[in-house]
Amino acid sequence: MPARFNGFFAEVDAEAWVRFLIALLGLLFSFAFAVLSTSFRDQGNLLGTAITASLALITAVVVGLATIPYLTRRIASEHMRFNVRYELTREGIIYLIAVLVIGIAALNTGNNLLFIVVAAMLAAVLVSGIASSIVLFRLTLKLTIPEHVFANKACVGTVTVRNDGWLPSFSISVVPEIPDKRHRWRWQRTEIGFPPFRSGNRQWFRIPDYQLRKLAPEKHKPSIFSGTVYFPYLPSRHAESATVELTFPRRGSYVQNALGLATRFPFSFLVKTRLMPFERELVVLPEVEAREQTLTILPALRGEFEIFVAGRSNDLYRIREFVPGDAARHIDWKATARSQTVMVREFTREDERKLKIIFDNPGPADVNEEEYEAAVKLTASLAWHFGGRDTEISFAAPGYSGIRDVLGFLKYLALVEPQAQALPLETLITEGAYNVVITARPRGSIPAPLWPGSYFIFVGKIR
């Protein structure tokens, strides 16, 4: 047998065929018992009639219980696998109006030629539906996006459509899922009292009741993919890919529950969209690009950090030549005069550059949404800026597990929300490290200096 036929029979559901054959055999037995019961009845054999009729009924019930639930589940799963949405196009509306007009004319005149034209036009609609179903039947869809995505920064994704069928597909579009914005209704328990014009505690009696109430549409997270990709032709047993540029306006969680494969093939009477289940969640990290506030803070922060690091030890390690990036205060002028080359002093503990970035999550009453997002972006920018340098960096925030990975901290900032009760700063600040604290607390509530080597960045209103 050819390989393609082997593959075809391998794809057939073996359990479905087994159940079909068992059901067919059971119905044959039931039919045989029914024929025997009729024969016994004609002979006047009451006992034989009762036994064979009962066996026919029992066999039919067993076949129904063993087959109908399975077929029901199978049909439901097939419906989920091939969930189709139809949208009538402008061309389709015009075509149907033309069919209606010609059909009315055929009925009024009795002209056989008009009946033939109407039949041909209706057959074209049927052919269009069958052809579009064949085009969409054996297609699979895949969306590939980068693992780490930042807000307001374009990234490149890949949309891949594969045709596993034996026939080619034409005019395929990958479209996003349209969220369901319809209002839903639900029966809810309530009570009705008598007399109705009195308040609850003054009514004579109250009885349980049900009331039909409208529910608000469910709030959905923003979708990952909201564009359209077009594939004019997909050969059989072949895959085509297209790159798409994705930009996410803000940090947070993005979810894609489904994507659609749509086609107008062959006559563009309607747009048939097959919804493909597609469970994917993406955490978009905050912006890390240096903005005006970050560029203003960085020079002062670098200076404070260098003073803190340089002042932690007085043990001279060596005197070496000056390299770009060395602080001018470390220049050894005597050694420079002797060697006619700029020399600097290096201390034994100067390489211990411990930095801790602390996000003191403000509450909703401390800052508004715009200030809160600015604080998150500033914290993310500082973490990203110092994370790639020769610095032992750590992070702290309410509810954060303390992972030193920069990307782990950025994922925390991507999903963070204002916290009603702020933790004491004593639990976040670490002695022996240079603490950079982004906070919305009032300036007067923090003693100055609270700890040596602490740099506070205040967000929100100055109080």
Q: Which of 42-56, 207-221, 395-409 has the least mean pLDDT? A: 207-221
pLDDT per residue as tens digits for the range 83-107: 788 888 898 899 989 988 998 888 8
For the chain, what is the domain count?
A: 5
- Say if residue 421 is in the same domain as residue 373: yes
- Global confidence as pTM: 0.63
> In this model, does residue 216 exceed pLDDT 60?
yes
> In this model, does residue 228 exceed pLDDT 70?
yes
- Say if residue 298 is in the same domain as residue 426: yes
Are 121 and 221 in contact by the 8 Å Cβ rule? The answer is: no
Q: How far is Cα 453 from Cα 297, in angstroms, rounded to an integer? A: 16
pLDDT per residue as tens digits for the range 104-135: 888 888 788 888 888 898 888 888 888 888 88
Q: What is the pLDDT of residue 233?
A: 92
**What is the distance in angstroms between the CA of the first residue and the CA of the last residue of the chain?**
85
- In this structure, are strands 155-163 and 238-246 parallel, antiparallel, or unpaired? antiparallel
pLDDT per residue as tens digits for the range 325-360: 677 777 888 888 888 788 887 664 444 557 778 888
pLDDT per residue as tens digits for the range 168-179: 999 999 998 776
Within a domain: 463: no
Considering only the C-alpha atoms of the chain, give the largest distance between any 2 of them, rounded to a whole number of Å: 135
- Say if residue 151 is in the same domain as residue 262: yes
> In this model, does residue 213 exceed pLDDT 80?
no
Q: What is the pLDDT of residue 445?
A: 60
DSSP letters spanning 357-396: EEE----TTTS-HHHHHHHHHHHHHHHHHHHTSS-EEEEE
Q: Which CATH number do you get for residue 118? A: 2.60.40.10
> In this model, does residue 47 exceed pLDDT 50?
yes
- Say if residue 162 is in the same domain as residue 268: yes
Q: How far is Cα 463 from Cα 458, in angstroms, rounded to an integer? A: 10
Nearest in space to 139 (alpha carbons), one of 262, 39, 57, 256: 262
Q: What is the pLDDT of residue 67?
A: 72
Backbone torsions φ then ψ of 367, nearest 5 degrees? -140, 155
Max mean pLDDT among 40-54, 188-202, 211-225 falls in 40-54
Q: How far is Cα 271 from Cα 394, in angstroms, rounded to an integer? A: 54
- Say if residue 209 is in the same domain as residue 145: no
Tell me the average pLDDT of the chain.
76
Long-range contacts of 45-53 (CB under 8 A, 24+ apart): none
- What letters, b where the CB count within 10 A reaches 16 and e where it falls short, cover 314-348? eeeeeeeeeeeebeeebebeebbeeeeeebbbebe
Q: What is the pLDDT of residue 316?
A: 58
Q: How far is Cα 88 from Cα 93, in angstroms, rounded to an integer? A: 7
Does residue 268 come out as left (phi exceeding 0), alpha (psi in the -120 to 50 range) or beta? left
Mean pLDDT in residue range 266-272: 87
Residue 95 sits in which domain range? 83-179+220-285
Does residue 86 come out as left (phi exceeding 0), alpha (psi in the -120 to 50 range) or beta? beta
Are 453 and 433 in contact by the 8 Å Cβ rule? The answer is: yes
> In this model, does residue 441 exceed pLDDT 60?
yes
Q: What is the pLDDT of residue 232?
A: 92
Residue the block writes with tokens 């919305």: 440
Q: What is the pLDDT of residue 367?
A: 77
Q: How far is Cα 309 from Cα 392, in angstroms, rounded to an integer? A: 12
- Say if residue 297 is in the same domain as residue 371: yes
- Say if residue 65 is in the same domain as residue 76: yes
**What's CA 150's distance to the chain center, in Å?**
16
> In this model, does residue 76 exceed pLDDT 60?
no
> In this model, does residue 63 exceed pLDDT 90?
no
Structural tokens at position 134: 């064949």
Q: How far is Cα 241 from Cα 224, in angstroms, rounded to an integer? A: 18
End-of-domain residue from the set 333, 350, 367: 350
Does residue 396 come out as left (phi exceeding 0), alpha (psi in the -120 to 50 range) or beta? beta
Q: How confident is the model at residue 258 (pLDDT cuts 50, 70, 90)?
A: confident
Q: How far is Cα 264 from Cα 95, in angstroms, rounded to an integer? A: 14
Q: What is the pLDDT of residue 174?
A: 92
> In this model, does residue 231 exceed pLDDT 90?
yes
Within a domain: 251: yes
End-of-domain residue from the set 29, 53, 81: 81
> In this model, does residue 442 exceed pLDDT 80?
no
- Say if residue 43 is in the same domain as residue 97: no
- Say if residue 335 is in the same domain as residue 447: no
Q: What is the pLDDT of residue 311?
A: 44
- The better pLDDT of the pair 3, 298 is held by 298
- Say if residue 15 is in the same domain as residue 76: yes
Mean pLDDT in residue range 148-164: 90
- What letters, b where the CB count within 10 A reaches 16 and e where it falls short, cover 216-238? eeeeeeebbbeeebebeebeeee
- Say if residue 155 is in the same domain as residue 279: yes
pLDDT per residue as tens digits for the range 383-415: 887 776 656 778 888 878 766 788 888 898 888
- Say if residue 304 is in the same domain as residue 434: yes
